[in-house]
Chains A and B, each alone.
Chain A
């Protein structure tokens, strides 16, 4: 069941990311490149999505034995559509990794050096949960930014996902 729990969390993560990305893209550059202020983790919607991509990417590398020193971000993508293309590729890779995990893989300790040079060791399963939780934090910021720009986007809660999409 631990494997199912993680897989379904990632099904949710991909769905919520795509739902918000789709809404944001439809609003065009005027909204996604707009500086919305320094009180956000990243001042633009594009920058926020690029950070989500960057975090998902750096963690996937750590899970597969690397310790990348650099996290991809806003400046690495000329446009939302370029980010989408890279993200599709990453999502495919992440999905293959997550769906290939066994219960014993989940308990495996992952040793990594973060981008401040701090060494840490945490079991894979909590790190997998961390990445989705991290995504939810920034998706919340994106939801508020979209609310300011064009009105409240639809709900991306796990309960909504289960009831309206997976229907189980």
Chain B
């Protein structure tokens, strides 16, 4: 069942990211670049989304045996549309990786170096949970920023995702 648990949260992750990305994109590029203050992890909607992309990307690199030193962020994308294109590609690559995993791979200890060169070793399943949880933290910020901009976005609760009919 552990494979189902991991695949389930990743299906949720892709759904929740797209739900909020679409909400932000509908407000237009100018709003997505508006500075909403230094108390957010990243001050703009675009910057926050770019950070989720960057974290997803660096972790996928580590899972595939690399120790990338570049963490992608706001400055790497000219627009939300540009970010969307890159994210679609990354998501496809992630999907292929996550759906290919077996139980043995989940338990595998992953050796990687953080961007500052510090080495770590952790089982893959913990890191697969970390990335989804990391994004939920920033999706919450996106939801609050969207609420301030135009009213509350639709909920992205995990239970709503699991309750909806799926093919």
Contacts and interface: CB of A to CB of B under 8 A. Distances in A.
Nearest to A13: B133
A106 to B, nearest CB: 6
Interface string A114-150: 0000001010011101101110111111011001100
**For chain B, which range describes its interface: under 10, 10 to 19, 20 to 34, or 35 or more residues?**
35 or more
Contacts of B103: 1
Contacts of A137: 136-137, 139-140, 143, 157
B125 A122 contact: no
A52 to B, nearest CB: 13
A40 B134 contact: no
Nearest to B140: A140
A126 B94 CA distance: 21
B133 A1 contact: no
Contacts of B4: 125
B5 A162 contact: no
A33 to B, nearest CB: 19
Nearest to A146: B39
Which DSSP category, helix, strand, loop or mixed, fits chain B's interface? Answer: helix
Contacts, number: 106
Nearest to A104: B1
A36 to B, nearest CB: 10
B162 A126 contact: yes
B147 interface: yes
A102 B25 CA distance: 43
B147 A39 contact: yes
Nearest to A160: B130
Contact of A139 (B137, B147, B157): B137
Contacts of B158: 126, 129-130, 133-134
A154 interface: no
A158 B140 contact: no
A107 interface: yes
A129 B136 contact: no
Given A130-B158, A147-B39, A140 B5 contact: no
B58 to A, nearest CB: 12
A5 interface: yes
B9 interface: yes
4 closest Cβ contacts across the A-B interface? A140-B140, A158-B130, A130-B158, A2-B2
9 contacts: A40-B144, A106-B1, A125-B4, A125-B5, A133-B12, A137-B157, A140-B140, A158-B129, A158-B134
Given A5-B5, A159-B130, 18 more contacts: A39-B148, A103-B1, A122-B162, A125-B8, A126-B158, A127-B159, A129-B8, A130-B159, A133-B136, A136-B140, A139-B137, A141-B144, A143-B137, A157-B133, A157-B137, A158-B129, A158-B133, A162-B122
